């Protein structure tokens, strides 16, 4: 029988942007001596492209083992709660019977019923937020009624954050009423039982969000544990860690890396909008032209579901200048010396990855928390430029061109390069032995072990 002092069960919401940080966090826990089991849905498990042998992966059901396409968000979430609670309980009891009892469930804040399962089985519970501390604080303010919706002012002031315009707020807040199911999830469900969790983890690092972290830590025992990325990207190599993750899409690793190896240092624009964003067709066209008329090479991730929005013959006509792939190993790409800047939707993982690897960003937020991340990238962390939209919400090709040249050729690029080194160093410090995130992880495991089974 395996012996271990602590066993954490990790329960991520089954999308790429939640699996990645929670898997990387699992590796940190495992490295610190805990046994870790990651629970994913039957459907996702079947479709995952890579399953890391390092972490043990078990399955539960969300009630849609053949996929949940076209299912309304609220229906999906209710079904997941119902079937997920039962199958998770069954899994934990099975692990106990196998002599591998679970001590703590670390559940995604999007799956707040993870706490109820933990408590019903007499286990400890930790909630994991995959978004920034800033965004969590905004949702917390809305939840507590400290920020009233619909917004009455054009500018809002939230402690620990710069003054924010309505357009800087997460779309579920700025477009109050447009996404009721997701609003219910991110504001009410995420926040309602947060105080009952034994630990609250944020995927960020203290120095990145110092003021807002301090403010939140006064009202809730929040702990930063990020950046949750593989150790080698922070100039380390923790035993057993590797760059691989659990990919929902198949990364075109060899093609991308071989192509990047042929390009000069800092010469390539990397363009990616994450795993979910559906970019407006007109926006795709403007982006395509902006890239094509720039004087730089580009590597553009266009997911299969988005390829029909590319201008006709674009891929063939630009093949000497650009490479279009359906998915790539993003961290490996961002860490490659040929990358000069990153045109990003500012999903929190992409933002944190670029900050931790020191890559300047052109921010083109699409929805959810991305506008807030973009605002902070530009005005607080000074790691990029937010591309301005026209009256129809489209970033035109000339604006894209200007942003690229400002970052790749202008004085802005030089200023950002200096900041890039600072953030990269601070991310590594937080992660290193004795750093703020490292200490928070160690403290969590020590307290859990101390309080016994």
Nearer to ligand UDP, 286 or 353 (CB): 353
The number of residues that bind ligand UDP (CB under 6 A) is 19
Minimum CB distance to ligand UDP, residue 153 (Å): 29
Is residue 241 part of the annotated active site? The answer reads no
Q: Which of 18, 141, 336, 345 is catalytic?
A: 18
Cα–Cα distance between 4 and 7 in angstroms, integer? 7
Residue 136 interacting with ligand UDP (CB under 6 A): no
Residue 172 interacting with ligand UDP (CB under 6 A): no
Nearer to ligand UDP, 41 or 87 (CB): 41
Restricted to residues 190-219, the positions that interact with ligand UDP (CB under 6 A) are none
Q: Which residue has the tokens 């860490």?
A: 335
Minimum CB distance to ligand UDP, residue 46 (Å): 19
CA 23 to chain centre: 11
Residue 52 interacting with ligand UDP (CB under 6 A): no
Q: Which of 103, 108, 198, 369 is catalytic?
A: 108
Q: Report whether 335 contacts 257 (CB < 8 A).
A: no
Nearer to ligand UDP, 125 or 291 (CB): 291
Nearer to ligand UDP, 17 or 413 (CB): 17
Strands 384-386 and 322-325 come out as: unpaired
Nearer to ligand UDP, 36 or 272 (CB): 272
Nearer to ligand UDP, 84 or 347 (CB): 347
Residue 108 interacting with ligand UDP (CB under 6 A): no
Among 301, 310, 383, 407, binds ligand UDP (CB under 6 A): 301
- Options 50-58, 88-96, 274-282, 401-409: segment touching ligand UDP (CB under 6 A): 274-282
Residue 330 interacting with ligand UDP (CB under 6 A): yes
CA distances from 208 to 3, 81, 266, 344 (A): 37, 34, 25, 19
Cα–Cα distance between 423 and 430 in angstroms, integer? 10
Q: Report whether 144 contacts 215 (CB < 8 A).
A: no
Is residue 7 part of the annotated active site? The answer reads no
Minimum CB distance to ligand UDP, residue 330 (Å): 3
Cβ burial, residue 193 (10 Å; 0-12/13-18/19+): middle
Among 20, 136, 137, 356, binds ligand UDP (CB under 6 A): 20
- Options 118-126, 172-180, 231-239, 343-351: segment touching ligand UDP (CB under 6 A): 343-351
Nearer to ligand UDP, 102 or 186 (CB): 186
Q: Which residues contact 3 (CB under 8 A, 6 or more apart)?
A: none
- The contact mask relative to ligand UDP for 346-365 (x = CB under 6 A, - = no) is -xxxx--x------------
- Options 109-117, 183-191, 272-280, 412-420: segment touching ligand UDP (CB under 6 A): 272-280
Cα–Cα distance between 335 and 212 in angstroms, integer? 28
Q: Report whether 345 contacts 364 (CB < 8 A).
A: yes
Nearer to ligand UDP, 350 or 436 (CB): 350
Token pair for residue 191? 């926040």
Minimum CB distance to ligand UDP, residue 363 (Å): 12
Q: In what order do the strands lie in the sheet with 361-363?
A: 322-325, 297-301, 268-272, 339-344, 361-363, 384-386
Residue 17 interacting with ligand UDP (CB under 6 A): yes
DSSP 159: T
Calculated CA dihedral for residues 190, 195, 198, 200, nearest 10 degrees: 50
Minimum CB distance to ligand UDP, residue 118 (Å): 25
Residue 272 interacting with ligand UDP (CB under 6 A): yes
Residue 294 interacting with ligand UDP (CB under 6 A): no
Measuring CA to CA, which residue among 61, 46, 50 is closest to residue 11?
61
Residue 327 interacting with ligand UDP (CB under 6 A): yes
Q: Report whether 137 contacts 44 (CB < 8 A).
A: no
Contacts for 58-63: CB closer than 8 Å, 24+ residues apart: 58/91, 58/95, 59/91, 60/84, 60/87, 60/88, 60/90, 60/91, 61/87, 62/14
Cα–Cα distance between 126 and 383 in angstroms, integer? 32
Q: Give the active site residues.
A: 18, 108
Residues at the interface with ligand UDP (CB under 6 A): 16-17, 20, 272, 274-277, 301, 327-331, 347-350, 353
């Amino acid at each position: 029988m395996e012996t271990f002092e602590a066993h954490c069960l990790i329960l991520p919401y089954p999308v790429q942007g939640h699996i990645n940080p929670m898997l990387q966090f699992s590796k940190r826990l495992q490295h610190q001596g805990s046994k870790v089991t990651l629970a994913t849905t039957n459907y996702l498990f079947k479709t995952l492209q890579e399953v890391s042998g390092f972490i043990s992966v078990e399955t539960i059901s969300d009630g849609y083992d053949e996929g949940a396409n076209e299912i309304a968000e609220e229906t999906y979430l209710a079904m997941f709660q119902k079937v997920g609670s039962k199958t998770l309980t069954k899994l934990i009891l099975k692990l106990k019977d196998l002599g591998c009892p679970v001590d703590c469930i670390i559940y995604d804040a999007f799956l707040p019923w993870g706490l109820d399962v933990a408590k019903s089985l007499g286990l400890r519970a930790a909630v994991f937020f995959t978004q920034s501390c800033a965004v969590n604080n905004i949702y917390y303010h809305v939840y507590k009624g400290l920020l009233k919706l619909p917004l009455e002012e054009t500018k809002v002031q939230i402690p620990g954050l710069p003054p924010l315009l309505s357009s800087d707020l997460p779309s579920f807040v700025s477009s109050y009423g447009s996404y009721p199911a997701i609003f219910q999830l991110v504001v009410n469900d995420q926040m309602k039982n947060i105080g009952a969790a034994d630990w609250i983890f944020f995927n960020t690092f203290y120095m990145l969000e110092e003021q807002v972290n301090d403010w939140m830590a006064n009202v809730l025992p929040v702990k930063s544990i990020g950046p949750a990325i593989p150790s080698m990207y922070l100039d380390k190599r923790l035993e057993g860690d590797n760059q691989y993750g659990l990919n929902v899409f198949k990364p075109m690793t060899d093609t991308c890396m071989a192509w990047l190896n042929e390009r000069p240092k800092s010469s390539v624009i990397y363009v990616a909008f994450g795993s979910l964003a559906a970019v407006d067709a007109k926006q795709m066209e403007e982006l395509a032209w902006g890239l094509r008329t720039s004087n730089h090479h580009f590597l553009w991730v266009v997911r299969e579901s988005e390829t029909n929005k590319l201008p006709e013959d674009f891929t063939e006509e630009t093949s000497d200048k650009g490479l279009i792939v359906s998915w790539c190993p993003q961290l490996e790409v961002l860490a490659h010396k040929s990358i000069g800047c990153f045109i990003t939707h500012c999903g929190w993982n992409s933002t944190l990855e670029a900050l931790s690897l020191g890559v300047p960003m052109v921010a083109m937020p699409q929805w959810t928390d991305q506008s807030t991340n973009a605002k902070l990238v530009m005005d607080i962390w000074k790691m990029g430029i937010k591309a301005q939209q026209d009256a129809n919400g489209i970033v035109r090709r000339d604006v894209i061109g200007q942003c690229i040249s400002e970052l790749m050729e202008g004085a802005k690029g030089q200023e950002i390069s200096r900041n890039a080194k600072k953030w990269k160093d601070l991310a590594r410090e937080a992660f290193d032995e004795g750093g703020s995130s490292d200490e928070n992880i160690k403290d969590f495991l020590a307290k859990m072990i101390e309080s016994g089974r």
